Amino acid sequence: MKGHERPLTFLKYNREGDLLFSCAKDHTPDVWLADNGERLGTYRGHNGAVWCCDVSRDSTRLITGSADQSAKLWDVQTGNQLFSFNFNSPARAVDFGVGDELAVITTDPFMELPSAIHVKRISIDPNEQTVNSLLEIRGPRGRINRAVWGPLNKTIISVGEDAVVRIWDSETGKLIKESEKETGHRDAITSLSKSADGSHFLTGSLDKSARLWDTRTLTLIKTYVTERPVNAVAMSPLLDHVVIGGGQDARNVTTTDRRAGKFEAKFFHKILQEEIGGVKGHFGPINALVFNPDGRSFSSGGEDGYVRLHHFDPGYFHIKM
């Protein structure tokens, strides 16, 4: 599916799995029909790369974070912009809390400003929406690439350039736990994906690995090693599978690479940590991966500007290890 003029940055399904939202560096998030890849519409209003998005549980609201120093709320159906949270630095990660009454937004370090995590209350009526933050956490050094809510909105999990996973108290803003040097990533963490039940989550890093963590204790459970920097990770809601995608940074990819079209999403067995297969197709690094909530298909977004929709054949569900 070619909808974007620039590299993809993020993909997100709605809860039912019938809509797929895509973000890219071309300023305009898109929404697609998830079964056949038909583009339904575009959300126009940002004037910078869009790094991240999330959709409310009832599929009525979309939130997007952009390099134009704003996070915007949209009406999913009409494409109208409902509200804009404006910051003094680029907005990076966005995530709705359980119940869709809270959102976490991260902002990048910029000039003298450090990275920050902002918690906003989301009003049911857009006319009552305010810019006020319920909480603002001054972040660690370097960029925060992803921040998501922990169980029952009690915590916020953040990852980023300094390779550390952190769990924060979402009411007080206090740091509760952080990953240890021995078990943690060795290079910038690019991506984070929660399990369907929220009990564990997966992180991907430029250190060419993905790691599985316990959400409450921040214990390292599993490590998946690959031969390329990891830009994107996802976990099957149906089977014990994780999918990992990446490739070199765009700056380091030669245009005449003989591996054209060989950038693949690699599947690993979640428990056994063994590679079980791969899906090729992108002509550049994979920047975004997501499973459909039903576990029967997944999508990938690449540096090549394409979104690829993959429906699994029956054999996939009977892979024997």
**Which pLDDT score is estimated for 101?**
97
pLDDT one-digit tens code per residue, 296-313: 999 999 999 999 999 999
pLDDT tier at 187 (50, 70, 90 boundaries)? Answer: very high
- Contact 52/64 with Cβ under 8 angstroms? yes
Task: Please answer whether residues 284 and 304 qualify as being in contact, where contact means their C-beta atoms are separated by less than 8 angstroms.
Answer: yes
Domain boundaries, the chain: 8-231
For 259, 291, 318, the CA distances from 310, given in Å and listed in that order, are: 21, 10, 17
The Cα 291–Cα 310 span in angstroms is 10
- pLDDT at residue 254 is higher than 80: no
What global pTM score does this model have? 0.94
Q: Which amino acid does the sequence have at 144?
A: I
Mean pLDDT, residues 194-207? 97
SS3 319: coil
* Overall average pLDDT of the 142-171 stretch: 97
β-pair partners for 2: 306
- Which of the following CATH numbers is that of domain 8-231: 3.90.660.10, 3.90.480.10, 2.130.10.10, 3.40.1030.10? 2.130.10.10
Provide the 8-state DSSP code for 317.
Answer: G
